[in-house]
């Protein structure tokens, strides 16, 4: 297949690009190269004859039309987004612009392209979304595909809005869409403002390891390469108009997660004295911090036969090792705007 991947220079998009090229697909990576992008993430496949890159913004309709006309993809995998909850608290406008208006613009460009080509049934518009659209769980229960939407941050509200637009373009115009809502990802090339890289890099630098609130918030962690595999599975086997929840069934409190990372680091790069856990510091909580997310992945497992290949213990080991082995990659990103600062704490 020829895939147009938006946001392919980001964390998850680049994992999709690398896997798709490895599996023999052609990929057009369309990315605006915001602060969160890094083309080094796709350096391993950038020389492949099936790979192309277009620097463009998903809000730029004429650039989208030109890209679709030139490359004629069989499917669009839409990952481009503003993705950091803390930044959405400080500046929600960028999230509405890109995640809502950008998705609208991309849907309209896709609809015209699909119409102009005789509305092929095999075309797919795959919208990649988050479990955060479902809101916050108590101590029990899990999100399924029929859980009502209840977003609580500007980020999750903008993703919920974009999900609704994608479903509406299917119901109203017949555009062949699939949607996925995934839990928290982690792994190589994770931008150094997100929790896991922050903890690894602060630990190595001897800095405090910041934990929001009391660390009891629960997240369900999935290795990014397993997410990329799930996305290609849904793209190729998912039913049109349907959504699939993707999760690793690996619930951890933030405090447990950070302690696990400290233990791995203690083994791989021991401190002269003490343990990395000594650097743990509790800081003011994020406003509106969702208590718990948990995905019920029964549908994707039973209907499409997908399951994660990596346990969270193995995935975290690999991730820590990757950061130890790839210092030039993360050092180059630490100067970017806002990285290393506390964001999103203002009420
Ligand atoms: N990170 C997670 O744990 C997670 C979980 C579930 C779903 N998601 C969703 O997956 C997608 C990718 O997430 P990520 O963590 O890789 O994000 P990321 O922030 O690492 O990457 C986003 C990419 O999109 C690009 N981009 C941003 N605005 C753009 C615009 N206007 N036009 C074109 N490109 C633009 C950026 O340059 C960047 O390369 C997002 O839609 C996100 O909502 C993320």
Q: Phi and psi (nearest 5°) for 44?
A: -65, -25
Q: Which residues are catalytic?
A: 131-132, 155
- Counting atoms of ligand 1 from 1, which one is nearest the CA of 13? 16
Which is nearest to 99 in space by CA: 151, 155, 37?
Answer: 155
Best of 6, 18, 80 for a ligand 1 pocket test (most atoms within 8 Å of beta carbon): 80
Q: What is the pLDDT of residue 347?
A: 57
Cα–Cα distance list, 289 to 161, 166, 193, 216 (Å): 20, 27, 17, 11
Q: Is the CB of 33 under 6 A from ligand 1?
A: yes
**Residue 217, token pair as written in the block:** 């918030």
What residues form DSSP beta bridges with 53? 29
179 lines ligand 1 (CB under 6 A): no
Q: How far apart are the first and last CA of the chain?
A: 47
The Cα–Cα gap between 342 and 340 comes to: 7
State residue 170's pLDDT score. 98
Burial of 49 (0-12, 13-18, 19+ CB in 10 A): exposed
Check if 9 has its Cβ closer than 6 Å to any atom of ligand 1: yes
Q: What is the pLDDT of residue 346?
A: 64
DSSP conformation class of 89: H
Nearest CA to ligand 1 atom 41: 79
Closest CA to 338 of 124, 87, 119: 87
Output the pLDDT for position 98: 98
Which of the listed residues 6, 11, 127, 315 should we mutate to test ligand 1's pocket, taking the one with most ligand atoms within 8 A of CB? 11
Q: Which of 10, 18, 38, 315 to mutate to test the pocket of ligand 1 (most atoms within 8 A of CB)?
A: 10
Say how far apart CA 265 and CA 91 lie, in whole Å: 34
pLDDT tens over the chain, length 347 residues:
999 999 999 999 999 999 999 999 999 999 999 999 999 999 999 999 999 999 999 999 999 999 999 999 999 999 999 999 999 999 999 999 999 999 999 999 999 999 999 999 999 999 999 999 999 999 999 999 999 999 999 999 999 999 999 999 999 999 999 999 999 999 999 999 999 999 999 999 999 999 999 999 999 999 999 999 999 999 999 999 999 999 999 999 999 999 999 999 999 999 999 999 999 999 998 898 889 999 999 999 999 999 999 999 999 999 999 999 999 999 999 999 888 888 988 65
How far apart are alpha carbons 43 and 48 in whole angstroms?
10
98 lines ligand 1 (CB under 6 A): yes
Alpha carbon of 34 to ligand 1 centroid (Å): 10
Q: Whose CA is nearest to atom 28 of ligand 1?
A: 81
* CA 321 to ligand 1 center in whole angstroms: 24
Tell me the pairing of strands 218-223 and 184-186.
Answer: parallel
CA 334 to centroid of ligand 1, rounded, Å: 18
59 lines ligand 1 (CB under 6 A): yes
Ligand 1 mean position to 78 CA, how many Å?
Answer: 9
For residue 84, which atom of ligand 1 is closest to its CA?
19
CA atoms of 71 and 200, how far apart (whole Å): 40
Q: Is 41 in the pocket of ligand 1 (CB under 6 A)?
A: no
The answer to whether the beta carbons of residues 128 and 231 sit under 8 Å apart is yes
3-state secondary structure of 68: helix
d(CA 72, CA 140): 46
Distances (CA, A) of 91 to 10, 87, 99, 168, 212: 20, 6, 13, 27, 20
CATH numbers and ranges of domains, the chain: 2-188+223-249+291-310 (3.40.50.720)
Which atom from ligand 1 is nearest to the alpha carbon of 56? Answer: 33
Distance CA 53, CA 219 (A): 33
d(CA 326, CA 340): 18
Distance in Å, CA 127 to ligand 1 centroid: 11
């Amino acid at each position: 297949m020829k895939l147009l991947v938006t946001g392919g220079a980001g964390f998850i998009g680049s994992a999709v690009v690398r896997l798709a090229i490895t599996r023999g697909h052609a990929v057009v990576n369309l990315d605006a190269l915001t602060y969160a992008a890094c083309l080094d993430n796709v350096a391993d496949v950038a020389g492949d004859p099936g790979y192309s890159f277009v620097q463009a913004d998903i809000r730029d309709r004429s650039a989208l039309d030109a890209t679709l006309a030139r490359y004629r993809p069989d499917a669009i995998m839409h990952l481009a987004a503003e993705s950091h909850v803390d930044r959405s608290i400080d500046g929600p406008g960028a999230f509405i612009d890109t995640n809502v208006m950008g998705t609208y613009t991309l849907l309209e460009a896709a609809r015209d392209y699909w119409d102009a080509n005789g509305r092929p049934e095999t075309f797919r518009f795959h919208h990649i979304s988050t479990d955060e659209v479902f809101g916050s769980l108590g101590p029990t229960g899990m999100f399924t595909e029929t859980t009502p939407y209840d977003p609580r941050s500007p980020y999750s509200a903008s993703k919920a809005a974009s999900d609704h637009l994608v479903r509406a373009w299917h119901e109203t115009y017949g555009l062949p869409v699939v949607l996925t809502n995934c839990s928290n990802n982690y792994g190589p090339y994770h931008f150094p403002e997100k929790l896991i890289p922050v903890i690894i890099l602060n630990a190595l630098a001897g800095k405090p390891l910041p934990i929001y609130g009391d660390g009891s918030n629960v997240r369900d962690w999935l290795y990014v390469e397993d997410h990329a595999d799930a996305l290609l599975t849904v793209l190729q086997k998912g039913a049109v108009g349907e959504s699939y929840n993707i999760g690793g069934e690996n619930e951890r409190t933030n405090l447990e997660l950070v302690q696990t990372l400290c233990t791995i680091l203690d083994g791989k790069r021991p401190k002269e004295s003490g343990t990395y856990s000594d650097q743990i510091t509790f800081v003011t909580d994020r406003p509106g911090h969702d208590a718990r997310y948990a995905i019920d992945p029964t549908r994707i497992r039973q209907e499409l036969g997908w399951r994660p290949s990596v346990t969270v213990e193995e995935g975290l080991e690999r991730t820590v090792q990757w950061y130890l082995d790839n210092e030039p990659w993360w050092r180059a990103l630490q100067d970017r705007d806002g990285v290393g600062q506390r964001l999103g704490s203002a009420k």
